[in-house]
Amino acid sequence: MRSILVDARPGPAGRNRIETALALARHTGGHVTLVVDTPVDRFVAIDGMGGSLVSAEALRDVMAEDDAFAAAIDAQLARQDVCCDVVRADCPPVDALAAAALLADVVVVPRQDAVAADLPLAIRGPVLAVNDDRPLAFPLGRVAVAWDGGASAAHALRASVPLLATAGAVTVLVIETDPAGFPATDVASYLARHGISAELRPLPRQGSVEATLTAALAADRPDLLVMGAYGHGRLRAFLFGGVTEHFLASPDGPALLLAH
């Protein structure tokens, strides 16, 4: 993971994301690109006749603030031991990140944010959704992989190999009653080919899938949970809830590496 993109915003949470991206770049010898976005559409309103109204003064003020933030963070990064650059955008956040992520190996975003929910469906690569209150340190200590045998889980697993290869411990969590399209024993074989030793842990189902996984994570407290995003579709998750939505919303959960 050497091309690292990060959703950069002012404030402590944004600084923690930037620190996570910088730590990952130091670990992999990578490059960090920060996206500072000012979504212009938030300053456009539709009047009663169907026309559009732009709050030009408010837009100018916010653009100036974000330009100043981009310049300040660019100057700070110039003093870091990591190659970095800053890009500006003016479209909705998911669109801005998706456009910049075409050649990114991973995108770092806030976990409890709509961007983390929507971006895995908009890009081909993995999304690293981190907590607002603390950056991730690399190499990781403990990593859990939620395996359900589906294509999204397989995509997330393949994308996570560079992180798993240097982690202290890797556990593959498999709920025993889940119909696995691809057996978990083959997951262990796949990881072993990459020099990764992983523990396979079958979990008796206790209520919902998310409740079963939450209980296992509470016991292990991993730094990162690798999982497929919306294996059963985003609409179903929106209407009925789902594992992805649950862990994105959980206030005290681990960072997530998501892929769809």
pLDDT over 70 at 232, yes or no: no
Reported confidence tier of residue 241, pLDDT bands at 50, 70, 90: very low
23-81 pLDDT, tens per residue? 999 999 999 999 999 998 887 766 555 555 567 788 889 999 999 999 999 999 999 99
Helices (H), the chain: 12-28, 56-77, 93-100, 114-122, 151-164, 184-193, 209-220, 234-240, 243-249
The whole-number average pLDDT for the span 146-156 is: 92
3-24 pLDDT, tens per residue? 999 999 999 999 999 999 999 9
Partners of 171 in beta bridges:
144, 199
* DSSP letter, residue 53: E
Q: Does domain 142-259 have CATH number 3.40.50.620?
A: yes
Q: What pLDDT is stored for residue 213 in this prediction?
A: 95
* Per-domain boundaries in the chain: 3-130, 142-259
| 211/217 Cα distance (integer angstroms) | 10
Supply the CATH classification number for the domain 3-130.
3.40.50.620
Query: What's phi and psi for 73, nearest 5 deg?
Result: -70, -35
| 243/260 Cα distance (integer angstroms) | 13
81-107 pLDDT, tens per residue? 999 999 999 999 999 999 999 999 999
Average pLDDT, the chain: 90
> pTM of the full predicted structure?
0.91
Q: What pLDDT is stored for residue 235 in this prediction?
A: 47
158-179 pLDDT, tens per residue? 999 999 999 999 999 999 875 5
Common-topology check for domains 3-130 and 142-259:
yes
Q: What pLDDT is stored for residue 42 in this prediction?
A: 80
According to DSSP, the β-strands at 106-110 and 127-130 are parallel
Q: What pLDDT is stored for residue 57 in this prediction?
A: 80
